[in-house]
């Protein structure tokens, strides 16, 4: 579907390991004053003075987390960075550095790796972070990306999963489920392409969903927004696995239950249309579709007035006593237990219908 029009193919084996890392990382500029020394020694040297240091790591595997049939390498590099800095943001921290580990088979030419690193560099520039370490090696099959993100925060700003109170309100940023349906659209187009390679897909009606899948963004803007609104979040997590699964993390670690209101879930109009087209329940998608990389956080009830008309924020429910369990309150006012289901589970459900 996405054809590689790059005719240049330089074999990776032409480069030694050092040449390869040097070639791929020379474009990275250092802009952060917390970066004391970057790539080129045994380790990077960072300086956070009196702030706490945040560290998170993620590993992404071809065929599991991404399909290069519809994920261009530049987008993959960008997304891999976003996924990781989203975890720093979810601590209410400021991301400042990443290290990149890549294992890649020889079927990829140098130009493919350059694309990947170009995407990494674009994300680094957009989010004001430095790439301070890297390891590039061969793999026997496929592409594996491992990124560690580093950030910092004043102790008073740190927001854990465990801080929610029993009556706190649950807030999400942006809208839900779009990244998952974007993947469904891309997967459908791939199947069409496999049958008829001359087909010209029209992705225009799905542009928002596809962009949410291929080029998600981390909500680095929310820390400042909450400061400006004078709201101190009591707990926070990023929406990577799906709302149902992620709210369970907050509840479990805060020792609470929750009520999520179906009619409060923020859905983009394009999502609603495409869910109808695919004959899937948009509430299921909003609850269980992952990879939105929006933030979910809790606030004290008395802060409701400060957030209620903000276009970036939706209050979708509230915490409860742990004994009440974790529930979805449907439009028909029924209370049904939330289930944490991954993407596979969604497909299985549909098959079962």
Interface with its own copies (CB under 8 A): 16-17, 36-37, 40-50, 52-65, 87-88, 90-91, 93, 97, 99-103, 132-135, 137-142, 144, 146, 148-151, 158, 160-162, 236-238, 241, 253, 342
* Least distance (Å) between residue 70 CB and its own copies: 17
Smaller CB separation from its own copies, 137 or 335: 137
Calpha distance 330→171 (Å, rounded): 18
Smaller CB separation from its own copies, 155 or 353: 155
Smaller CB separation from its own copies, 76 or 275: 76
* Least distance (Å) between residue 61 CB and its own copies: 5
* Least distance (Å) between residue 302 CB and its own copies: 25
Task: Decide if 14 contacts 113 (C-beta within 8 A).
Answer: no
* Least distance (Å) between residue 9 CB and its own copies: 22
Smaller CB separation from its own copies, 99 or 234: 99
* Least distance (Å) between residue 200 CB and its own copies: 30
* Least distance (Å) between residue 135 CB and its own copies: 5
Q: Any idea of the CA torsion for 224, 226, 228, 230, to the nearest 10 degrees?
A: -140
Coil, helix or strand at residue 320? strand
Q: Residue 315 has which token pair? A: 């209050």
Burial class of residue 291 in the structure, from the number of CB atoms within 10 Å of its CB (0-12 exposed, 13-18 middle, 19+ buried) = buried
Calpha distance 154→142 (Å, rounded): 40
Task: Decide if 151 contacts 85 (C-beta within 8 A).
Answer: yes
Coil, helix or strand at residue 243? helix
Calpha distance 328→338 (Å, rounded): 6
Smaller CB separation from its own copies, 100 or 286: 100
Q: Which of 295, 316, 128, 273 is nearest to 225 (CA)?
A: 295
Q: Give the DSSP H/E element, type plus range, for residue 133.
A: strand 130-138
Smaller CB separation from its own copies, 85 or 271: 85
Smaller CB separation from its own copies, 10 or 148: 148
Going by C-beta distance under 8 Å and a sequence separation of 6 or more, which residues neighbour residue 301? 167, 168, 169, 318
* Least distance (Å) between residue 120 CB and its own copies: 14
Task: Decide if 233 contacts 93 (C-beta within 8 A).
Answer: no
Q: Give the DSSP H/E element, type plus range, for residue 101.
A: strand 94-104
* Least distance (Å) between residue 23 CB and its own copies: 16
Neighbours of 351 (CB within 10 A): 7
């Amino acid at each position: 579907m996405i054809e590689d029009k790059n005719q240049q193919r330089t074999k990776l084996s032409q480069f030694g390991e050092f040449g390869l890392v040097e070639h791929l990382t020379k474009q990275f500029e250092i802009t952060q004053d917390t970066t004391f020394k970057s790539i080129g020694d045994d380790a990077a040297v960072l300086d956070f003075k009196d702030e706490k240091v945040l560290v998170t790591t993620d590993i992404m595997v071809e065929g599991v987390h991404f399909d290069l049939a519809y994920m261009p390498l530049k987008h993959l590099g960008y997304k891999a960075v976003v996924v990781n800095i989203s975890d720093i943001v979810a601590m209410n921290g400021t991301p400042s550095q990443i290290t990149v580990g890549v294992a890649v088979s020889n079927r990829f030419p140098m130009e493919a790796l350059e694309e990947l690193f170009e995407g990494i560099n674009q994300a680094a520039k957009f989010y004001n972070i430095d790439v301070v370490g890297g390891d590039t090696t061969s793999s026997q099959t496929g592409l594996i990306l491992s990124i560690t993100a580093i950030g910092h925060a004043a102790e008073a700003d740190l927001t854990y999963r465990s801080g929610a109170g029993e009556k706190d309100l649950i807030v999400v940023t942006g809208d839900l489920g779009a990244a998952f349906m974007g993947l469904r659209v891309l997967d459908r187009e791939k199947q069409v392409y496999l049958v008829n390679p001359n087909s010209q897909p029209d992705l225009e009606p799905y542009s928002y969903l596809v962009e949410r899948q291929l080029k998600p963004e981390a909500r680095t803007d929310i820390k400042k927004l909450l400061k400006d609104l004078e709201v101190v979040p009591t707990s926070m997590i990023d929406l990577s696995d799906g709302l149902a699964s992620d709210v369970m993390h907050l509840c479990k670690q805060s020792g609470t239950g929750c009520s999520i209101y179906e009619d409060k879930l923020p859905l983009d109009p394009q999502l609603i249309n495409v869910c109808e087209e695919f004959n899937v329940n948009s509430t299921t998608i909003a609850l269980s579709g992952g990879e939105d990389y929006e933030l979910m956080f809790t606030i004290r009830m008395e802060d409701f007035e400060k957030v209620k008309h903000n276009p970036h924020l939706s209050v979708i429910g509230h915490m409860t006593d742990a004994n009440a369990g974790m529930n979805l309150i449907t439009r028909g006012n029924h209370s049904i237990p939330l289930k944490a289901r991954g993407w596979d589970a969604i497909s299985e459900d549909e098959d079962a219908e």
